[in-house]
Structure 1
Amino acid sequence: MNKIIKIGLLSIGVAMTNVACSDDFVDREFFQEVEQAPLKTDNEVQAFVRGGYTAMRSNTYYGADFLAYGEVRSDEMISNLAGGYYQNVMNYTMLSNDAYAVDTYNKIYELVAKANIVINTDMATIQGTDNDRKNSRYAQGQAYALRAIAFFDAFRLYGQKYIAGGESLGVVLPLKYDPKARMPRATIAQTEAQIDADFTKALELMTANGSAGNTVKTELTINSVKGLMSRFYLYKGDYAKVRSLTNDIVNSGAYSVAPAALLQETFRFTMNGAAPNSIFELAVGINSSLSTSSYRQRLNPNGYGNLVVNAATQDEYATNDVRKAFITLVGGQRFLSYNSNASGVGKYTQGVGADNIKMLRYEEILLNGVEAELNGGSSAQALIHYNKIITNRGLTAVTSVDMDMLRKERMKELLGEGLRQWDLRRWGIAVPRPAGASTNQDLNAFPIPRQETDLTGTLVRPNPGYDNSN
């Protein structure tokens, strides 16, 4: 890692912890001018973990852009370029100083830096009671999971896995907060091993210091970590682990598929944290609204209306499929979000951008399980998982399921949720490119920002095909 991530000292202001259980996280300013001191209290540890969630909620990360990247480079949605959004992304014309590549990279590694400060804190030195130290160790487990998420996201976006003719390059893996460090990119194998190790350590610490029955939706729990692990192992192709994790979550009995009549409501602000299918969501709420920078604004014609559904995607839905009503035709274009507030339809409809960001839903876990069972597991179990979803969407149960059906169902159920590009790449299916887009396959990976590759003494290699790769 080369550039200085703006984290800094939290010694001033941490005393007013505001450890509220509401959906609104308190944003904190971080200043890099002061060297980071060791964390001393559970309040400080918790504040840094919450700061990690705040970084993820940014519009340059899960608040909008990272989700959009998974859609505009896919077979289910495109950008109509309204407001100028995502033109270079969709047309594969990015440069190494492109704002999308730079800003998302910075936000991902800001999350890594905040997680590292917690991870490298000696919890035995935390002031207070034994319970305070136990809470801090649980939070440290959450920090390991946050770092795993960040490395996985960087890996998908900037790494060379599933890049035709690419090199065996993963991403930079800083394991402690050191703004002066110079590190090279790890290999693909090393990157996957580190993500695996971080998730595993997260589960170890959280299981030893928390409750398996924790049902909080707006912070990482044991179940949500397992769910995110299943997403990673599916991308990696480790189907046995996906099957095991899916079974754990299903057998917990903590979640259920949203019935047809409730599905719309589960995406609305009024259901934040209460949806039966929600496993993990980033809290937003009125006070921390993303407003015009929210994902809703990218989806909704009453906002920027930039992301639109392809006609072929809409045609995959049966007439009686409740999800088809999520797509609204306006001016000849198909929008996944329309109107706002109580009268809104689709996904992310709250006009002020206050919708919680749905990071992980039970339906995704079941679909992960279907695919894993179809690859070396039980076809009967795959069918059970599959029918749980479609029978709650107004459709009739089927007697068999195959990979083609699974691929289509993932598109219909997870439309707009930022996963499709990564599905296509791991399946080896070419991602469609619009007419006039670059055909250079090296450009499937985002460019490593020039701020990394041009720094004096850098060890970071650029991705091939970009202006800083010569």
Structure 2
Amino acid sequence: MKIYKYIYVVLLSFLVLSCDKNLDIVPQDVLDAEIAITSIEDVEKVLLGAYATLRRDGLYQESMFFLPDLLADNLRIGQTNGGSFRTEANWQYSSGDDIDVWDEAYTLIFRSNSVIENANRFEDSQIKNRIKGQAYALRALAHFDLLRYYGEEYGRNSERRGVPVVTSFSATPPARETISEVYDQIFDDLFEALVLLGDIDKEIQEDGPHLMDLRAVNALLARVSLYAEQWQDAADYASEVISSGTLSNPTEYASMWSDDADGEVIFSVRFATADEGRLGNSLLDNGRVSSFTLTVDAAELYDQVNDVRYNSFVLLNPGSNPGDDVYLPNKYPGRGGQSGLNNAKILRLSEMYLIRAEANANIVGQDAAAVADLNELRRSRITGYVDEDLTGEALDEAIQLERRKELMVEGHRWFDLRRINGSVERGADCRGLTVNCVLLSGDHRFVFPIPQDEILANPNMRQSDGY
């Protein structure tokens, strides 16, 4: 699927068919030309089609969900794995391999563009603001996720190659923009979303945190600012979100992962039925086997007695011999008796505490504020926790450790190691079907190759170094 072939979609006015619930959608790439958009309410149905894209394998069912943990040191290939993501886990990918992020993220971008362009056909109104604001936020999310995988680095002002920025339909095949230019577009979109969503006709989150509202936009701004190392901005946006919520207590926290409560979730991708995908099945199928298992190193980070995250995230499958024990990822246990059927939690309040802590740790004189956030998060997770007083390198290491523990199997670890110039060191967990053990900082494989189909079809596309 070449990203510029969607230019023809604008020739069609289209709707996305919806069922009873907001995100129970049947998406279609090209819809019947006879179905016309005649009202701003019709545009909202197209917006729901954009949200549906997030459920695809290349986005928040697999590649933006658990693959970053498998690429790093939180997950490893399980013995029941039939071949899924083995190439990626062992960093053996080439331009001929495709994790589908490229296609699916640009599908989301084109659908978001269609919402914006079609909404502009109608008079300004609060409902138009609500619809367009969400589309800008989704477009920013898609460009950012592309940058995380395919951008040659994360520096805010970098002139190295990023990804194509696509904001309108054009017959000209797009070229890669610089990292700086991609950030410019992401921030512009998020700032526009803030303005629009500040003047809307009704509350966006009517049926759970499954749509991008003001709080979610501020949370995404905090995350993007962290990657860009705009420390004060990251702290400020995180503070805006933190001021509007509270961390989950241990009971609420455990319920959040089975979707019995929303808890501290700011934005999630809704999987309403098994037909839409069981994102947890690759991690814990029928309660005892897994295509991917937790590394021993990751599982043993937790206080098994006092940390609520251990029982929420980890299931021990005892082996018959010493050393044969397997730790299974239990973060997505399913709901309603259906294994693996859970919503993908994309933005959570705990991440905002960690973002603010890391940002303040990088601002001169703010170590005390950073450690205060770290201690508050730990108190909400660990029974009997005693506050620590950390500064300097010890504080930096503690924050990264807590990110690893708190955000386990939520699609962060690989990107975190990239942005702090870390290496992947698998140690004793490098065994079985996991055969490559160390990926040093700066290795070209920290940047994913542009799919070869795109290179062949697009004369303006350039491959990243090393592929």
Which TM-score bucket, shorter chain as reference?
0.7 to 0.9
Shift of 1:235: 1.1
1:221-236 correspondence to structure 2 within 5 Å: 221-236=213-228
Shift of 1:136: 1.8
Shift of 1:201: 1.1
* Partners of 1:221 and 1:390 in 2: CA distance: 28
Shift of 1:404: 1.5
Match of 1:98 in 2: 97
Q: 8 Å contact 1:448–1:462 — kept in the other structure?
A: yes
Say which of 189, 193, 216 aligns to 1:198: 189
Say which of 48, 51, 54 aligns to 2:49: 51
2:251 is aligned with 1:261: yes
* Partners of 2:221 and 2:275 in 1: CA distance: 28
Match of 2:175 in 1: 184
Match of 1:139 in 2: 131
Gap change, CA 1:70 and 1:43, over 3 Å in 2? same
* Partners of 1:354 and 1:23 in 2: CA distance: 18
Match of 2:117 in 1: 120
2:161 is aligned with 1:161: no
Normalising by the residue count of structure 2, what TM-score does the alignment of the two structures yield?
Answer: 0.85
Match of 1:431 in 2: 424
Gap change, CA 1:390 and 1:68, over 3 Å in 2? same
The residue identity in structure 1 corresponding to 2:87 is N
* Partners of 2:68 and 2:238 in 1: CA distance: 23
Shift of 1:368: 0.8
Match of 2:460 in 1: 459
Normalising by the residue count of structure 1, what TM-score does the alignment of the two structures yield?
Answer: 0.84
The residue identity in structure 1 corresponding to 2:373 is H
Gap change, CA 1:31 and 1:234, over 3 Å in 2? same
Match of 2:322 in 1: none
Gap change, CA 1:137 and 1:297, over 3 Å in 2? same
The residue identity in structure 1 corresponding to 2:349 is Y
* Partners of 1:244 and 1:362 in 2: CA distance: 14
Unaligned runs of 5+ in 2: 320-324
The residue identity in structure 2 corresponding to 1:371 is E
* Partners of 2:389 and 2:204 in 1: CA distance: 34
Q: 8 Å contact 2:333–2:339 — kept in the other structure?
A: no
The residue identity in structure 2 corresponding to 1:229 is L
Q: 8 Å contact 2:252–2:263 — kept in the other structure?
A: no
* Partners of 1:58 and 1:404 in 2: CA distance: 34
Match of 1:363 in 2: 350
Shift of 1:323: 1.2
Instruction: For residue 316 of structure 2, give the secondary structure of its aligned residue in structure 1.
Output: strand
Match of 2:5 in 1: 4
Pairwise CA RMSD: 2.9
Match of 2:385 in 1: 396
Gap change, CA 1:436 and 1:407, over 3 Å in 2? closer
Shift of 1:390: 1.4
Shift of 1:17: 5.5
* Partners of 1:395 and 1:7 in 2: CA distance: 57
- Percent identity of the aligned residues? 25
* Partners of 1:119 and 1:395 in 2: CA distance: 50
Shift of 1:237: 0.9
1:13-24 correspondence to structure 2 within 5 Å: 18=19, 20=20, 22=21, 24=23
2:387 is aligned with 1:387: no
Match of 1:315 in 2: 300
Shift of 1:354: 2.8
The residue identity in structure 2 corresponding to 1:314 is A
* Partners of 1:139 and 1:458 in 2: CA distance: 35
Say which of 104, 108, 122 aligns to 1:107: 104
Q: 8 Å contact 1:9–1:35 — kept in the other structure?
A: no
* Partners of 1:336 and 1:10 in 2: CA distance: 44
Match of 1:340 in 2: none
Instruction: For residue 306 of structure 2, give the secondary structure of its aligned residue in structure 1.
Output: coil
Shift of 1:262: 2.3
After superposition, what is the alpha-carbon deviation per residue over 1:111-151, rounded to whole angstroms, capped at 9, x for unaligned? 0000111223353x327xx7xx3212221111111111000
The residue identity in structure 2 corresponding to 1:295 is L
The residue identity in structure 1 corresponding to 2:389 is S
Shift of 1:388: 2.5
After superposition, what is the alpha-carbon deviation per residue over 1:11-66, rounded to whole angstroms, capped at 9, x for unaligned? 4666x765x5x4642223231785998x5422222112211111011122101222
Say which of 288, 305, 309 aligns to 2:290: 305
Q: 8 Å contact 1:69–1:418 — kept in the other structure?
A: yes
Unaligned runs of 5+ in 1: 338-345
Instruction: For residue 243 of structure 2, give the secondary structure of its aligned residue in structure 1.
Output: helix
The residue identity in structure 1 corresponding to 2:286 is N
* Partners of 2:204 and 2:360 in 1: CA distance: 26
